[in-house]
């Protein structure tokens, strides 16, 4: 049984309504840095390190959406946060879907950012192929492609230090943990429960994101009752970095909106 000292690390900052931020594969709580900095002016933000990521790489345990979701709930309990808004990026978006469905009494509003909602057979094959590539060539097998998959060409040219930092972070991850966490993308199927999510939900993704693409965002938007959809023009998977202020504005506006206020956020 885990002790208190074994619990996942987290960071708490800001003031206002509680907001939980969940990161993606190979990242850590710092991936939300700029967005969290802006949102902390209006929200009491709780960020965590998922098992196998960041400072929590030594924590053992099952790698599944249910296990990750349970970790978030434990972290909230440890921090004394009974109810909160919720935003998840990439794998964190999958976790947010599971939390919104399984713990509806804990979350008021939900933001699903650059996530997936089930995959086509072809997309699942891509996940399996990518996993095999990493097993055979190590994390270096994907660092070269990370720039093209994540960042727009213009941003990469103007911010080489950001690219270098991201590649360094990938090279530093615990490979077995990365593989196990990434495997979740190819084995998790949440489409059948999306229609049961009751919390007001905002779905967002980059227009050019090849991993968490527009088709998946549209699927989530169609299946989650009353959800809103925003496609971010020209952006890939690095929306937290390339559009941090813009994202913080969209997320803050959505989370602060009164349930009886303006409900008509435009798509696109």
In a domain, residue 18? The reply is yes
Please give the Cα distance from 211 to 91 (Å, whole number): 11
pLDDT at 185: 85
Question: Residue 262: pLDDT band by 50, 70, 90 thresholds?
Answer: very low
Is residue 137 domain-resident? no
In a domain, 169, yes or no: no
Residue 129 belongs to some domain of the structure = no
Q: Is residue 171 part of a domain?
A: no
> Domain for residue 102, yes or no?
yes
Residue with tokens 């937290």: 240
Rounded to two decimals, the pTM is 0.91
How many domains does the chain fold into?
A: 1
139 Cβ contact list (under 8 Å, min separation 6): 170, 171, 173, 175, 178
Average pLDDT (141-160) is 84
Give percent of the chain above pLDDT 90.
Answer: 57
Q: Which of 66, 67, 86 is closest to 76 using CA atoms?
A: 86
- Looking up residue 98, the CATH number of its domain turns out to be 3.40.50.1820
Q: Which domain holds residue 227?
A: 4-120+190-256
Looking at the domain assignment, is residue 96 inside a domain?
yes
pLDDT digits (tens, 9 = 90+) for 125-150: 888 888 888 888 887 877 766 777 88
More confident residue, 239 or 119: 239
Mean of all residue pLDDT scores within the chain? 87
Assess whether pLDDT exceeds 90 at residue 242: yes
In tens, the pLDDT along 24-62 reads: 988 888 899 999 999 999 999 999 888 877 667 666 778
Give the pLDDT score at 174.
79
d(CA 53, CA 50): 6
Which of 95-109, 150-164, 179-193 is predicted most confidently?
95-109
């Amino acid at each position: 049984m885990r002790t208190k000292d074994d619990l996942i690390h987290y960071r708490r900052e800001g003031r206002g309504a509680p907001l939980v931020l969940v990161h993606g594969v190979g990242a850590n709580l710092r991936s939300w840095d700029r967005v969290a900095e802006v949102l902390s002016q209006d929200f009491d933000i709780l960020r965590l390190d998922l098992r196998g990521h960041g400072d929590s790489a030594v924590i053992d345990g099952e790698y599944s959406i249910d296990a990750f979701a349970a970790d978030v709930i434990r972290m909230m309990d440890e921090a004394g946060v009974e109810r909160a808004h919720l935003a998840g990026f990439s794998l964190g978006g999958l976790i947010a879907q599971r939390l919104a469905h399984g713990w509806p009494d804990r979350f008021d509003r939900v933001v699903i950012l650059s996530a997936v909602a089930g995959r086509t057979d072809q997309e699942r094959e891509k996940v399996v192929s990518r996993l095999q590539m990493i097993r055979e060539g190590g994390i270096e097998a994907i660092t070269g492609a990370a720039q093209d998959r994540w960042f727009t060409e213009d941003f990469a040219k103007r911010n080489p230090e950001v690219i270098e930092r991201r590649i360094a972070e990938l090279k530093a991850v615990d490979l077995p943990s990365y593989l196990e966490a990434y495997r979740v993308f190819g084995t998790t199927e949440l489409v059948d429960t999306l229609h049961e999510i009751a919390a007001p939900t905002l779905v967002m993704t980059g227009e050019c994101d090849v991993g968490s693409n527009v088709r998946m965002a549209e699927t989530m938007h169609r299946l989650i009752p009353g959800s809103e959809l925003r496609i971010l023009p020209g952006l890939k998977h690095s929306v937290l970095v390339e559009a941090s202020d813009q994202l913080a504005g969209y997320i803050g506006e959505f989370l602060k909106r009164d349930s009886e206020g303006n409900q008509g956020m435009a798509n696109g």
